């Protein structure tokens, strides 16, 4: 070992020096990063800058040369980045309050400008957040509470995105999408009144259902009565005279028969009674 | 134990004692026999030749390390006391070790076994070059090429909300519904998944939430409770999510969205339950009415059939039947009642109250209900 060191001292040192110089003059840009080459404080060029519709593998990523020491490389994320707006209370045009959670997706399309203005992607986020906030308030404040929730939201989001995008270009960013993640009623009175409304609505529904049930029951009973009347009429109508007699017989039976819960009957007959006809004249 | 110190037995005693395992060094017994030193020895150290052996004394350890500081294995020069182990024949082991390391490095970083559900992204100095399909893939060794293997076709499931807490969503009719759901997704394009989004997993969740809220807001509360409405919402959320994720070029495929539960908020649950109770009440009322109706109809039918039968008889012999029925009925009626026959005209009648009282005390006769046939 000592021999190798002694004999090739110079060449070994040269190899090391070459490695150091090489590592200083080469920069590896991964696929998901863009790089801004800064020469003495001034951005001179970009590496692997985002271009739409560029397939992976055909980008500028990979091993790139730079002037050692003189040039510095600043990495900027090339991917779609997210920005979250924390819950904000938004007032609708009909003076209803709503808590809104939104997010935006953006991408740095001009890394040089971003480096010059915001510095880092976090810087971009910090710059854009208040803008998103105010744009969102402005846009949603023009809508009624009901519209805020539903159909018009699509158009609202496009407007918000466009407005935010205009501002974001200043920082070299492109806003891809803005979405409302959550819309909630604020705790306290708005939430309670919503609950009250829901409760009374259900109570009304329950009452309606019960009333409908009763109505249906009554209709069913009436129909049965009508049907029974028809059946009786069909049958008894064949001979009303006989029906009168027959039914009278049944009625006497029921009325005068001795039975549970029935009063005592005393019948006072006249000898002229038809029943006693034979009794009377013994014909 | 011969010595006072339990660790201090010298070599000769140690051979017969329990310490033999510690003392048997790799260097063999030949050197051990000559290794009798006067002082106490550390039994945890293998005994070697005197020049290679480390003493228990701290000063000695540092002395052995030499002025260069901590010894580096294979470092140029090396401390004077250190010598590389030698192969038989006096050659150095170093080339063999270096060769072994190089082979291991090549094998580890250039041969990749990709499992059936996986794919691998190959990057050359950070730049995407290709995607490894399942099977065995060969690449250049690290640091030239790097491989990241990811589960691709495995379905990932996210539950929203993650815990069991109540998550209220506003419906189109400005009611609130407590809703939880599952999203199932996988990767359809690994390179997009890998390079396009900064945080794909979180993006999926956020997109799902935005899509779900937008879809629920298009529906009324009652629709979210009904099976058909839920199915529609699920489908809407899925297509909406896929559209957004495709717009991001995320390389993610949403396989399905399943609504796990839709409940009314706990605060108004009682009122919702009462609706169910009311539905049952209504059903009960209708059922009772149906029963009554059936009863009425059956009775009508029974009575008319009976009448028809008698009428049939009556028609064949009207006068006789009529008289027969009359007498039979009178018989039944009058046999069970008190009868008084009074000559018509000029007779004072009075109610026989004592008689009635007497009758009330006797047990009533068995009912002889004789409905006319």
**Closest among B333, B373, B334 to A254, alpha carbons compared:** B333
pLDDT at A70 exceeding the cut of 80: yes
* Higher pLDDT pick, A251 / B89: A251
**Closest among A31, A28, A43 to A79, alpha carbons compared:** A31
- Residues 6 or more apart from A31 whose CB is under 8 A from it? A48, A56, A59, A61, A78, B123, B126, B127, B128, B194, B195
Q: What is the pLDDT of residues A120-145, one digit of tens each?
A: 889 999 989 999 999 888 888 888 88
- CB-CB: which of B202, B203, B339 is closest to A269? B339
Residue A218, number of CB atoms within 10 A of its CB: 13
- Residue B232 backbone class (left: φ over 0; alpha: ψ -120 to 50; beta: rest): alpha
- CB-CB: which of B170, B195, B352 is closest to A31? B195
Residue-wise DSSP of B209-262: HHHHHHHHTTS-HHHHHSHHHHHHHHHHHHHHHHHHHHHTT--EEEEEEEEEEE
Q: 3-state DSSP call for residue A174?
A: strand
A61 contacts on B by Cβ (under 8 Å): 126-128
> Quick one: average pLDDT of B154-161?
90
Q: Which pLDDT does position B75 carry in this prediction?
A: 45
CB contact under 8 A, A275 and B290: no
> Quick one: average pLDDT of B328-355?
69
pLDDT at B52 exceeding the cut of 60: no
Q: Band the pLDDT of A69: cuts 50, 70, 90.
A: confident
Q: What is the pLDDT of residues B209-237, one digit of tens each?
A: 989 988 888 888 888 888 888 999 999 99
pLDDT at B277 exceeding the cut of 80: yes
B278 contacts on A by Cβ (under 8 Å): 205-207, 209-210, 213
Q: Band the pLDDT of B19: cuts 50, 70, 90.
A: very low
Q: Does A251 touch chain B (CB under 8 A)?
A: no
Q: Does A244 touch chain B (CB under 8 A)?
A: no
Q: 3-state DSSP call for residue B132?
A: strand
The alpha carbon dihedral of A203, A206, A212, A214 has a sign of: negative
pLDDT at B77 exceeding the cut of 50: no
CB contact under 8 A, A62 and B127: yes
Q: Band the pLDDT of A230: cuts 50, 70, 90.
A: very high
CB contact under 8 A, A205 and B191: no
- Find residue A90's DSSP bridge partners: A98
Nearest Cα of chain A lies from the Cα of B270 at a distance, in angstroms, of: 8
Q: Which pLDDT does position B253 carry in this prediction?
A: 94
Q: Which pairs with CB-CB distance under 8 Å and at least 24 residues apart come from A207-213? A: A207/B278, A209/B275, A209/B278, A209/B279, A209/B281, A209/B282, A210/B278, A210/B281, A210/B282, A210/B285, A212/B282, A213/B278, A213/B281, A213/B282, A213/B283, A213/B284, A213/B285, A213/B286
Window 97-136 of B, Cβ < 8 Å to A: 123-130
d(CA A95, CA A90): 9
For chain B, give the percent of residues with pLDDT over 90: 21
Q: Which pLDDT does position A278 carry in this prediction?
A: 76
pLDDT at B157 exceeding the cut of 50: yes
What's the distance, CA B95 to chain centroid? 56
Nearest Cα of chain A lies from the Cα of B104 at a distance, in angstroms, of: 24
Please report which residue ranges of A92-188 form alpha helices under DSSP H: 111-117, 121-141, 145-149, 153-169
Q: Which pLDDT does position A166 carry in this prediction?
A: 92
Nearest Cα of chain A lies from the Cα of B372 at a distance, in angstroms, of: 5
Q: Which pLDDT does position A203 carry in this prediction?
A: 92
Q: What is the pLDDT of residues B189-214, one digit of tens each?
A: 998 898 888 888 889 999 999 899 88
Q: What is the pLDDT of residues A162-188, one digit of tens each?
A: 999 999 999 999 999 888 888 888 888
d(CA A159, CA B199): 25
d(CA B238, CA B219): 16
Q: Does B96 touch chain A (CB under 8 A)?
A: no
pLDDT at B360 exceeding the cut of 60: no
- Residues 6 or more apart from B14 whose CB is under 8 A from it? B20, B23, B43
Q: Which pLDDT does position A173 carry in this prediction?
A: 92
Q: How many helices and strands (H and E) does chain A possess? A: 9, 9
CB contact under 8 A, A194 and B367: no
Q: Which pLDDT does position B182 carry in this prediction?
A: 93
CB contact under 8 A, A270 and B341: yes
Q: Which pLDDT does position B285 carry in this prediction?
A: 93
Q: Which pLDDT does position B172 carry in this prediction?
A: 83
Mean pLDDT lowest for which of B54-68, B227-241, B311-325? B54-68
- Residue A40 backbone class (left: φ over 0; alpha: ψ -120 to 50; beta: rest): left
Q: Band the pLDDT of B90: cuts 50, 70, 90.
A: low
A151 contacts on B by Cβ (under 8 Å): 218
What's the distance, CA B194 to chain centroid? 28
- Residues 6 or more apart from A133 whose CB is under 8 A from it? A85, A88
Q: Mean pLDDT for chain A?
A: 85
CB contact under 8 A, A224 and B247: no
- Find residue A29's DSSP bridge partners: A62
Q: Which pLDDT does position A107 carry in this prediction?
A: 92
Q: Which pLDDT does position B76 carry in this prediction?
A: 47
Q: Which pLDDT does position B219 carry in this prediction?
A: 87
> Is there a cis peptide before residue B161, judged by omega within 30 degrees of 0?
yes
What's the distance, CA A116 to chain centroid? 40
Q: Does B147 touch chain A (CB under 8 A)?
A: no
Nearest Cα of chain B lies from the Cα of A181 at a distance, in angstroms, of: 4
- Residues 6 or more apart from A149 whose CB is under 8 A from it? A183, B170, B172, B174, B217
Nearest Cα of chain A lies from the Cα of B297 at a distance, in angstroms, of: 5
Backbone angles phi, psi at A120, to 5 degrees: -130, 170
pLDDT at B357 exceeding the cut of 70: no
First to last CA, chain A: 163
Are B3 and B9 in contact by the 8 Å Cβ rule? The answer is yes
CB contact under 8 A, A202 and B268: yes
Q: Does B363 touch chain A (CB under 8 A)?
A: no
- CB-CB: which of B294, B329, B349 is closest to A268? B349
Q: Which pLDDT does position B371 carry in this prediction?
A: 43
A258 contacts on B by Cβ (under 8 Å): 336-337, 364-365, 367-368
> Quick one: average pLDDT of B117-129?
87
pLDDT at B23 exceeding the cut of 50: no
Are B214 and A149 in contact by the 8 Å Cβ rule? The answer is no
For chain B, give the percent of residues with pLDDT over 70: 67
């Amino acid at each position: 070992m000592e021999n190798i060191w002694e004999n090739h001292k110079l060449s070994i040192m040269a190899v090391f020096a070459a490695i150091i110089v090489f590592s200083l003059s080469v920069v590896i840009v991964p696929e998901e990063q863009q790089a801004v080459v800064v020469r003495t404080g001034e951005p001179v060029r970009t590496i692997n800058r985002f271009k739409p519709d560029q397939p992976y593998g055909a980008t500028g990523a990979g091993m790139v040369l730079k002037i050692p020491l003189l040039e510095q490389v600043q990495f900027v994320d090339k991917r779609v980045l997210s920005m979250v707006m924390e819950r904000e209370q938004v007032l609708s045009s009909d003076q209803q309050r709503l808590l809104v959670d939104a997010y935006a997706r953006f991408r740095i399309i001009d890394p040089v400008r971003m480096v010059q203005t915001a510095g880092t992607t976090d810087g971009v986020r910090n710059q854009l957040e208040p803008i998103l906030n105010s744009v969102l308030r402005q846009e949603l404040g023009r809508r009624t509470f009901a519209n805020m929730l539903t159909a018009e939201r699509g158009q609202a989001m496009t407007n918000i995105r466009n407005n935010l995008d205009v501002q974001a270009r200043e920082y070299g960013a492109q806003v891809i999408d803005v979405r409302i993640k959550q819309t909630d009623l604020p705790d306290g009175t708005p939430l309670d009144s919503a609950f009250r409304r829901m409760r009374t609505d259900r109570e009304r529904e329950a009452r309606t259902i019960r009333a409908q049930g009763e109505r249906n029951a009554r209709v069913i009973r009436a129909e049965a009565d009508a049907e029974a009347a028809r059946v009786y009429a069909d049958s008894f109508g064949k001979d009303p005279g006989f029906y009168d007699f027959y039914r009278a017989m049944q009625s006497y039976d029921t009325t005068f028969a001795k039975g549970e819960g029935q009063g005592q009957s005393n019948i006072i007959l006249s000898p002229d009674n038809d029943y006693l006809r034979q009794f009377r004249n013994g014909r | 134990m011969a010595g006072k110190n339990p660790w201090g037995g010298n070599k000769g005693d140690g051979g017969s004692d329990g310490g033999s395992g510690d003392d048997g060094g790799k260097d063999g017994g030949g050197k051990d026999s000559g290794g009798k030193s006067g002082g106490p020895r550390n039994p945890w150290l293998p005994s070697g030749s005197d020049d290679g052996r480390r003493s228990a004394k701290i000063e000695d350890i540092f002395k052995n390390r030499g002025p260069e500081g901590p010894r580096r294995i294979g470092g140029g020069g090396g401390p004077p006391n250190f010598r590389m182990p030698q192969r038989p024949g006096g050659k150095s082991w170093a080339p063999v070790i270096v060769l072994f390391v190089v082979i291991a490095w090549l094998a580890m970083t250039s041969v990749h076994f990709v499992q059936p559900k996986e794919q691998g992204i190959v990057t050359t100095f950070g730049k995407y070059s290709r995607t490894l399909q399942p099977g065995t893939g060969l690449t250049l060794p690290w640091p030239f090429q790097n491989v990241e293997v990811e589960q691709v076709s495995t379905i990932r499931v996210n539950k929203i909300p993650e815990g069991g807490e109540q998550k209220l969503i506003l419906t189109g009719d400005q009611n609130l519904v407590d809703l939880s759901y599952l999203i199932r997704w996988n990767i359809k394009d690994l390179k997009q998944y890998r390079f396009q989004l900064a945080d794909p997993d979180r993006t999926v969740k956020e997109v799902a939430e935005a899509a779900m809220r937008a879809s629920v807001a298009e529906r009324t509360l009652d629709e979210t409770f009904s099976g058909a409405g839920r199915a529609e919402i699920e489908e809407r959320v899925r297509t909406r999510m896929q559209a957004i994720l495709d717009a991001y070029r995320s390389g993610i495929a949403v396989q399905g969205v399943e609504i796990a539960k839709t409940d009314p908020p706990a605060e108004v649950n009682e009122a919702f339950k009462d609706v169910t109770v009311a539905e049952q009440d209504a059903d009960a009322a209708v059922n009772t009415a149906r029963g009554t109706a059936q009863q009425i109809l059956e009775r009508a039918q029974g009575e008319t059939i009976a009448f028809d039968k008698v009428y049939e008889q009556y028609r064949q012999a009207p006068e006789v039947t009529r008289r027969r029925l009359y007498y039979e009925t009178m018989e039944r009626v009058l046999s069970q009642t008190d009868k008084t026959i009074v000559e018509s005209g000029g007779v004072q009648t009075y109610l026989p109250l004592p008689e009635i009282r007497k009758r009330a005390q006797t047990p009533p006769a068995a009912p002889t209900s004789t409905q006319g046939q």
